[in-house]
A and B are shown apart, each in its own frame.
Chain A
Amino acid sequence: MLIGAFTGFATAYLTGSLWAGVFAACLIGILAGLLMALMTVYLGVNQHVSGLGITLFCTGLAYYAFRVIFGTPSHPPQITPFDQVNLMGDVAVLGPIFRQYPLTYYAIVLVPVVWVILYRTNFGLKIRAVGENPEAADAAGINVYGVRTVSLMIAGAFMGVAGAFLTLSTLGFFTFDIIAGRGWVCIALVIFANWIPQRVLLGAFIFGGVQALQLRLQLTGVKFPYELFLTLPYVVTIIALTIANRNAAYPAALLKPYKRE
Chain B
Amino acid sequence: MLRRKWFYFLLVFLMVVSFAAGCALPEEDAAEPSETDELEEPVEEDDLFSIYGIYSTPAEEPWVSVINEACDKLVEEGKATFAYTDNLGYAGDFERELRQVADELQPDLITGDAFGNEEAARRVAKDFPDIAFAFGSGLGPVEPNFSVFDNWIHEPAYLLGVIAAHMTETDKIGIVGGMPVPEVNRIANAFLFGVKGYNEDATVYVTFINSWFDPAEAKEATLAQIEQGADILYAERFGVIEAAEENDIWAFGQMTDQNDLAPDYVISSAVWNLTPTFEYLLSSIEGGTYTAQDLKDFCMMGKGGAYLAPFHGLEEELPADLIDLVNQLEQDIKDGVLRVDIDESTPDAVN
Q: Give, as a whole number of angstroms, the nearest-CB distance from B162 to chain A.
A: 23
Interface residues on B, range: 35 or more
User: A60–B26 contact, CB under 8 A?
Assistant: yes
Are B216 and A212 neighbours in the complex by a CB distance under 8 Å? no
List chain A residues, Cβ under 8 A from B31.
Answer: 72
Contacts of B30 in A (CB 8 A): 67-68, 71-72
What B residues does A112 contact at CB under 8 A?
none
One of B115-123, B139-147, B254-262 contacting the partner: B254-262
Cross-chain contact A53 with B19 (CB below 8 angstroms): yes
Q: Which of A67, A178, A222, A227 is within 8 Å of B216, CB to CB? A: A178
Q: Which of B213, B256, B350 contacts A180 (CB 8 A)?
A: B213
Q: Does A86 contact B (CB under 8 A)?
A: no
Q: Chain B's nearest CB lies how many Å from the CB of A235?
A: 15
With A53-B16, A176-B87, A180-B214 known as contacts, the answer to whether A61 contacts B65 (CB < 8 A) is no
Interface residue tally of chain A, by bracket? 35 or more
Chain B: minimal CB distance from A61 (Å) = 7
* Contact between A177 and B213, CB atoms less than 8 A apart: yes
Query: In the complex, how many angstroms separate the beta carbon of B23 from the nearest chain A beta carbon?
Result: 4
From B208, B242, B258, give the contact of A75 (CB < 8 A). Answer: B258
Q: Which of A43-67 contact B (CB under 8 A)?
A: 43-46, 49-50, 52-53, 56-57, 59-61, 63-64, 67
Give Cα distance in the complex from A59 to B87, angstroms.
13
Assess A176 versus B26: contact at CB under 8 Å? Given A49-B16, A219-B205, A221-B348: no
A237 to B27, CA, bound (A): 38
B327 to chain A, nearest CB (A): 26
In the assembled complex, the Cα of A177 lies from the Cα of B59 at a distance in Å of 12
In the docked arrangement, what's the CA distance between A24 and B214, Å?
A: 24
Stretch at the interface among B36-44, B74-82, B90-98, B224-232: B224-232
Say if the beta carbon of B215 comes within 8 Å of chain A. Answer: yes
**A256 interfacial by beta-carbon distance below 8 Å:** no
What are 15 contact pairs spanning A and B, CB under 8 A? A52-B16, A53-B16, A60-B19, A60-B22, A60-B23, A64-B29, A74-B69, A76-B238, A170-B219, A177-B214, A178-B215, A219-B350, A220-B350, A221-B350, A226-B210
Give the interface of B toward A (CB within 8 A). 8, 11-12, 15-16, 19-20, 22-23, 25-27, 29-31, 57-62, 65-66, 68-69, 87, 205, 207-211, 213-217, 219-221, 224-225, 227-228, 238-239, 242, 246, 256, 258, 260-261, 348-350
Q: Which residues of A contact B (CB under 8 A)?
A: 39, 43-46, 49-50, 52-53, 56-57, 59-61, 63-64, 67-68, 71-76, 78, 84, 166, 170-173, 175-178, 180, 182, 211-212, 215-216, 218-223, 226-227, 230
